[in-house]
Amino acid sequence: MHFLDHPPRFLFFTGKGGVGKTSIACASALQLAAEGRRVLLVSTDPASNVGQVFGMEIGNHITAVPEVANLSALEIDPQAAAQAYRDRIVTPVRGVLPEGVVKGIEEQLSGACTTEIAAFDEFTALLTDAALTADFEHIIFDTAPTGHTIRLLQLPGAWSGFLEDGKGDASCLGPLAGLEKQRAQYQAAVDALANPATTRLVLVARAQASTLREAERTHNELAAIGLSQQYLVINGVFPIEQAVQDPLAAAICRREQAALAALPAALLALPTDQLALKPFDLVGLDALRQLLTSAQPVTSDVRHREAAGRGDPEWRVNKMDGRAVFVIARSASDAAIAITKTEAPSSLAAPSLSQLVDEIAADGHGLVMLMGKGGVGKTTLAAAVAVELAHRGLAVHLSTSDPAAHLAETLSGTLEHLSVSRIDPHTVTEQYRAQVLAAKGAKLDAAGRALLEEDLRSPCTEEIAVFQAFSRIIREAGTKFVVMDTAPTGHTLLLLDATGAYHRDIVRQMADSHAHFVTPMMRLQDPKQTKVLIVTLAETTPVLEAANLQADLQRAGITPWAWVINNSVAASAMLTPLTSPLLQQRARNERVEIAAVAQRHASRYALVPLLKDEPIGVARLMQLMRDAAAPAELSSEN
């Protein structure tokens, strides 16, 4: 495996939620420990399940893993770290600055940027304090800091003075106000991260276009600030040998191999490994030790293999460098896959997406917002809901802020009663920055303006700018259906709903800020006007992240109307019996997460099957609704 060849002292694993960062980090720690190396495994994931993976309590202190010689673990609690960070920032100014300003700082410090920096604050000691980690040869981090965090920590300037002068109460400048005393430690940590002799960053992705695009973005962002020692691990690749056993397995292989054949150019040069999809949950030592056993380094000729041809699809296995390589060619033998009937399970009732749309359509108009982490299929489901409503003769405006702009590709056509728009995050953010610099920047000196410009490069700025654009579309929901894909986060909504001096500042002193932002928030908080659908997958990490999103929304006064569990193998089994043992096992595993959604998280939910054909185009989107039209009965026992 490339990513574990001659490993440096620090290994960082990063990637989108649900790609398997924690499992790979844990398995890597086990392998290095088995080689006799002393290893510390550190998690900075807010929804860390490292303890669950090892079957033990870990927590925010270094804990030896009893059953594994040479291995210890630590779970940094980002929320606890963020609270301690907030206390350290706010306490010195309480009673010094006006109470309204202090409340504004506290609200601003409730955001994701603060949590991110606070977590970094916790583990910088692990990077810089040799005495603290002297007992360990390798420190493995599950979830690396983002490029945004590192850029913030590299910023020069006297942040405390800036705040005391009354200029630092805007957006993301607040967290930076407390960094001055620790600048030397942070600089040493950033230097360690950028040193290829001590640090290796491992990008984890799936063989899916969306996660590979995210890996490319992360690669470019980190490389731009000097973190160039990067490796790529493509996790959960469907085993080729199972493609001939059932049509759904063959379709999954076809999609994955097409995504790998179109690997983004920036990733092609990285040392790359592929890990096969496993039929079992990666919990427990035995399971983790099997994760890396079938890893295959990917050589350049394999990555550049032929991925297209002419005629009908066919699957064949070629030999290249002594390994089986799945190649997309063209013939008609794809249709000759034998199917043996398997018995369908039947005990856990699973409502359908079609039933949810029936309830939505009954209102005649309104706002439907689909939220969720990347890679769960929000765009596809938003398009499916919009197409179904339009097919029923209802006026629909479908809008997205998806940076990848693949909504048009998903629709691949037009439909009467349906209008489509795309909000370009880059364009609206640049417009927003220009407005803010013209209004507030004019009152600042050169140093203050430089800090404001850096502040306006934060993710919070994009969220607010996109919400501004969304808020203009929201007004249409009074007379038609507005279906919105890639909605703002709960943190953004909290910022926009804030009152007093901080609210006026966060909307950057725009003349109509109060009317422009509060009214859309009131609409979002009104369940009679807005239905929020949280999209997730029937897997542990996506469900945990969806639950966290729901909690964020509830803090903002928004109660999700329903959950949608997308791409479910268990639901697919109700349409077409599965013959692939791997798919059968994964269907059984999914039932645990489906039950968790049904019993703990959602007041109502729908289950959407993983389909053989990707739901691209109006006809297939409508077919998705038909395939998910009847409630499924899923066994929760097998």
pLDDT digits (tens, 9 = 90+) for 251-290: 999 989 999 999 998 999 999 999 999 877 777 788 788 8
Residue whose token pair is 């695009």: 213
Please report which confidence band the pLDDT of residue 388 belongs to, taking 50, 70 and 90 as the band edges.
very high
Hunting for tokens 């003349």 — which residue is that?
511
- Classified as helix, coil or strand, 405 is coil
How many C-beta neighbours within 10 Å does residue 1 have? 16
- pLDDT above 70 coverage of the chain, percent: 72
pLDDT of res. 34: 94
Catalytic residue among 14, 15, 17, 21: 21
Q: How far apart are CA 245 and CA 30, in angstroms?
A: 33
Whole-number pLDDT of residue 389:
95
Q: Give the Å distances, CA to CA, from 136 to 3, 9, 27, 145.
A: 19, 9, 17, 21
Q: Which of 14, 17, 22, 400 is catalytic?
A: 22
Cβ neighbours of residue 614 under 8 Å, at least 6 residues apart?
255, 620
Collapsed DSSP state (helix, strand, coil) of residue 204: strand
Return the minimum-mean-pLDDT range out of 1-10, 90-99, 400-409.
400-409
Whether the predicted model's global pTM rises above the 0.85 cut: no
On whether residue 307 sits in a domain, the answer given is no
pLDDT of residue 146: 60
Task: Indicate if 541 belongs to the active site.
Answer: yes
Q: Confirm whether 441 is domain-assigned.
A: no
Across the range 611-616, mean pLDDT stands at 82
Q: Does residue 559 or residue 146 have the better pLDDT?
A: 559
Per-residue pLDDT, 602: 94
What type of residue sits at position 471?
A: S
pLDDT band at 605 (very low <50, low <70, confident <90, very high): very high
- Both 354 and 298 in one domain: the answer is no
Residue 204 corresponds to which tokens in the numbers above? 């984890």
Q: How far apart are CA 98 and CA 116, in angstroms?
A: 27
Between residues 87 and 396, which one has the greater pLDDT?
Answer: 396
Residues 217 and 363 in one domain: no
Lowest mean pLDDT among 20-34, 135-149, 419-433: 135-149
Average pLDDT of every residue of the chain:
76
Q: pLDDT, tens digit, for every residue of 282-341? A: 777 887 888 887 655 654 333 333 333 333 333 333 333 333 333 333 222 332 222 222
Asked whether residue 60 falls in the same domain as residue 132, the answer is: yes
DSSP conformation class of 199 = E
Check residue 150 and give its pLDDT: 64
pLDDT exceeds cutoff 70 at 66 = yes
Structural domain boundaries, residue 367: 348-422+476-634
Q: What is the pLDDT of residue 47?
A: 56
CA–CA separation, 86 vs 174, rounded Å?
10
Count of domains forming the chain: 2
**What is the rounded CA–CA span in Å between residue 312 and residue 331?**
5
- Do 296 and 362 have their domain in common? no
Q: Is the pLDDT of residue 164 over 50?
A: no
Evaluated on CA atoms 373, 375, 377, 378, the torsion sign reads: positive
- At 500, the pLDDT band (50, 70, 90 cuts) reads very low
The verdict on residue 317 lying in a domain is no
- For 517, the token pair is 């932002």
For the chain, what is the largest distance between any 2 Cα atoms, rounded to a whole number of angstroms? Answer: 77
Q: What is the mean pLDDT of residues 411-430?
A: 84
Looking at residue 211, its pLDDT comes to 83
The average pLDDT across 69-92 equals 82
pLDDT value at residue 181 = 54
434: in domain: no
**What is the rounded average pLDDT of the residues 539-558?**
84
Residue 149, domain member (yes or no): yes
Q: From the candidates 15, 17, 23, 440, give the one annotated as an active-site residue.
A: 23
Is the model's pLDDT at 452 over the cut of 60? Answer: yes
Q: Which pair of tokens denotes residue 626?
A: 């038909």
Same domain, 55 and 185: yes
Q: How far apart are CA 560 and CA 553, in angstroms?
A: 8
Name the active-site residue from 14, 15, 17, 20.
20
Residues 298 and 400 in one domain: no
Q: Is 20 a catalytic residue?
A: yes
- In Å, what is the CA distance from 527 to each residue of 204, 371, 521, 523, 533? 38, 15, 12, 8, 12
236 is a catalytic site residue: no
What does each C-alpha distance from 282 to 18, 287, 296, 531 come to in angstroms? 12, 5, 19, 35
| Cα gap 30→50, rounded to integer Å | 12
How large is the average pLDDT for residues 480-497?
68
21 in active site: yes
The Cα–Cα gap between 582 and 278 comes to 7
Least confident span in 61-65, 155-159, 362-366: 155-159
The answer on pLDDT for 386 being more than 50 is yes
Identify whether residues 37 and 143 lie together within a single domain: yes
Q: Is 103 helix (H, G, I), strand (E, B) or coil?
A: helix
Q: Annotated catalytic residue: which of 14, 17, 28, 45?
A: 45
Could you write out the DSSP letters of every residue in 555-595? HTT----EEEEEEEHHHHHHHS----HHHHHHHHHHHHHHH
Say which of 14, 16, 17, 18 is annotated catalytic.
Answer: 18
120-124, 131-135, 459-463, 464-468 — which is least confidently predicted? 459-463
Same domain, 297 and 412: no
Q: Give domain status of residue 337, yes or no.
A: no
Which of 32-36, 180-184, 251-255 has the least mean pLDDT?
Answer: 180-184
Residues 10 and 153 in one domain: yes
Per-residue pLDDT, 108: 66
Would residue 377 show up in a list of annotated catalytic residues for this protein?
no
Q: Do 540 and 618 fall within a single domain?
A: yes
Catalytic residue check, 18: yes
- CATH number for position 598: 3.40.50.300
Co-location of 379 and 289 in the same domain: no
What pLDDT score does 116 carry?
A: 66
The predicted structure's pLDDT at residue 309: 34
- Is residue 265 domain-resident? no
Say how far apart CA 381 and CA 119 lie, in whole Å. 34
Instruction: Provide the terminal-to-terminal Cα distance of the chain, rounded to the nearest Å.
Output: 35
Same domain, yes or no, for 165 and 36? yes
Residue 482 lies in a domain: yes
